[in-house]
Amino acid sequence: MGARHVRLATRGSPLARTQADGVARRLAEVAGSTPELVIVRTAGDEARDVPIDRIGGQGAFVKEVQRSVLEGRADLAVHSAKDLPAQTPPGLVLASVPERADPRDALVGSSLAGLPSGACVATGSARRRAQLAWLRPDLTFTELRGNMRTRIDKSRSVGAGVVSFAALERLGLQGEADDVLDPRDMLPQVGQGALAVECRADDDELLAWLDAVDDPGAHRALDAERSFLAALGGGCTLPLGALARFDDDDGTLRLDAILASADGHVLLRDSAQGRDAGALGASLAARLLDDLGGRALVELVP
């Protein structure tokens, strides 16, 4: 019997295909054949000029891809983990998280210190706007959508823009970064820099193959970040960020997280350590909400 023919669903952007190709190569080493890419258009791809929060926020780039696996048109899907909603749909499982790339944000067009007073920064992310406004209340902002080359060009035309450094690296464009922002100043989005590979929960053969390309430390870190997101309600529209780091020496996780007002005037930040990824994310969310005043911010959102 020949090797199983595996179909891998992905968006069609250059970045998405690069990420999917990387997972396909890893999987080929285990399964004996290279998966076929199944290109899926998503709501986010169809509405390139519309701010993400107006077309569904998190999930805008993944729901149709997930549906292709659930309906049997593909066997697995590769996502940028930062695009995933907090809850995995019934019938799917987050089976593998390969080694994580650099999770930091990068400025294109200028360093943060080099931006003049009142400079314009392009970003479609409420999280990035809030943290930059906290650091530099003088800055102004404009939307940023499109593929990476479009984003880079617009960023330089307006003054500067913020993008994922991992995305630049995966596309061989890391030289475009003028400043890579320290997570102490700019916490990334939940899952930034990580890939998430989903398959059907009852596909035991594929689950075994995907386990072989999983990075347990990266997977546990992502679980902690996603637990934090889920504990905030999953659909929380306030700016938030989280970054977990796994310590190979003692098996503990450190999770840093923020919750902010939309204008960046209020920014709550805290950190915690633990071994249980789910409990760590949930407890840190509770501290931000109930001990540090985050509940009042949530209640102000229409």
Which pLDDT value is given to residue 262?
A: 84
Which pLDDT value is given to residue 140?
A: 96
pLDDT greater at residue 43 or residue 174: 174
Domain range list for the chain: 7-101+191-214, 105-180, 228-300
Q: Are 262 and 130 in contact (CB under 8 A)?
A: yes
- Are the folds of 7-101+191-214 and 105-180 the same? yes
| pTM score | 0.92
Arithmetic mean of pLDDT, 95-116? 97
Which pLDDT value is given to residue 298?
A: 84
Please name the residue ranges forming H helices in 86-146: 126-135
- Name the pLDDT band for 233 (thresholds 50, 70, 90): confident
Across 213-252, b (16+ Cβ under 10 Å) vs e yields bbbebbbbbbbbbbbbbbbbeeebebbbbbbbbbeeeeee
Arithmetic mean of pLDDT, 210-239? 92
d(CA 191, CA 84): 8
Which pLDDT value is given to residue 213?
A: 95
- Residue 132's alpha-carbon distances to 7, 76, 115, 124, 240, in angstroms, are 41, 37, 12, 13, 13
83 is an active site residue = yes
- Among the listed residues 21, 45, 83, 202, the single catalytic one is 83
- Name the pLDDT band for 42 (thresholds 50, 70, 90): confident
Which pLDDT value is given to residue 37?
A: 96
Across 155-168, b (16+ Cβ under 10 Å) vs e yields bbebbbbbbbbbbb
Q: Highest mean pLDDT: which of 31-35, 42-46, 84-88, 196-200?
A: 196-200
d(CA 51, CA 66): 22
Q: Are 128 and 143 in contact (CB under 8 A)?
A: no
d(CA 115, CA 122): 12
Q: Which position has the token pair 């890579």?
A: 180
Domain 7-101+191-214 CATH (choose: 3.40.190.10, 3.40.47.10, 3.30.70.870, 3.20.190.10) = 3.40.190.10
Backbone angles phi, psi at 23, to 5 degrees: -65, -40
Which pairing describes strands 76-80 and 195-200: parallel, antiparallel, or unpaired? antiparallel
What percent of the chain stands above pLDDT 90?
Answer: 82
d(CA 148, CA 132): 21
| ∠ CA 161-174-118, rounded to 5° | 20
If you ran DSSP here, which 8-state letter would residue 207 be given? H
- pLDDT of 44 strictly over 70: no
- pLDDT of 239 strictly over 90: yes
Domain 105-180 belongs to what topology?
Answer: D-Maltodextrin-Binding Protein; domain 2 (3.40.190)
Which pLDDT value is given to residue 46?
A: 52
Domain 228-300 is of which CATH architecture? 2-Layer Sandwich (3.30)
- pLDDT of 107 strictly over 80: yes
Nearest to 120 by CA among 170, 161, 174, 74: 161
DSSP 129-166: HHHHHHH-TT-EEE---SSHHHHHHHHHHHEEEEEEHH
Which pLDDT value is given to residue 55?
A: 43
